[in-house]
Amino acid sequence: MIDIERLIDALSDLMAGRGYTISADGTEPMMPRQALAPDCLLPVLVRLAEEKWRTDAGAVSFGLAIDPDDRAFCGHTLRAVHHAPVAILVLCVDQVLRTVADEEGVVTLDALQAHAAAP
């Protein structure tokens, strides 16, 4: 099992290094650690990363423990990642963000939702 704080640190570094920002409403960007909190967008990003890994590599599940949470931003909280190294998660999240970010590196909730709903 990986340390969630270590994952958040690695993804924060990815966002800073690639110039990604996440915007809930298309205007004011969220702070990276706020967006990457286990009860904010982290469950969404790791779930999309897992699907990317399965589709592209034909690999098995990351062993995500994501629980429903009425108080969470997206209705779910990431509790654990059991079967994936941080490096693979970062690479897969990067692929997802690269796909949904606009030309300035802004990722909106609408773009994430559209990506998640795509066949």
Reading the chain (119 residues) residue by residue, the pLDDT tens digits are 999 999 999 999 999 999 999 998 767 899 999 999 999 999 999 999 999 999 988 877 899 999 999 999 999 999 999 999 999 999 999 999 999 999 999 999 999 999 999 87
**Greatest C-alpha distance within the chain:** 37
Residue 68 lies in a domain: yes
Residue 118 pLDDT = 87
- Distance, in Å, from the CA atom of 105 to the CA atom of 99, rounded to the nearest integer, reads 10
Residue 92 lies in a domain: no
Two tokens at 68?
């429903």
User: Can you name the residues that pair with 68 across neighbouring β-strands?
Assistant: 76
pTM of the model: 0.93
Domain total of the chain: 1
Residue 115 lies in a domain: no
Residue 19 lies in a domain: yes
Taking CA atoms, 47 is separated from 53, 60, 103, in Å, by 10, 13, 24
Which residue segment(s) compose the domain that 77 sits in?
Answer: 1-84
Q: Are strands 64-68 and 76-81 parallel, antiparallel or unpaired?
A: antiparallel
Residue 106 lies in a domain: no
Residue 111 lies in a domain: no
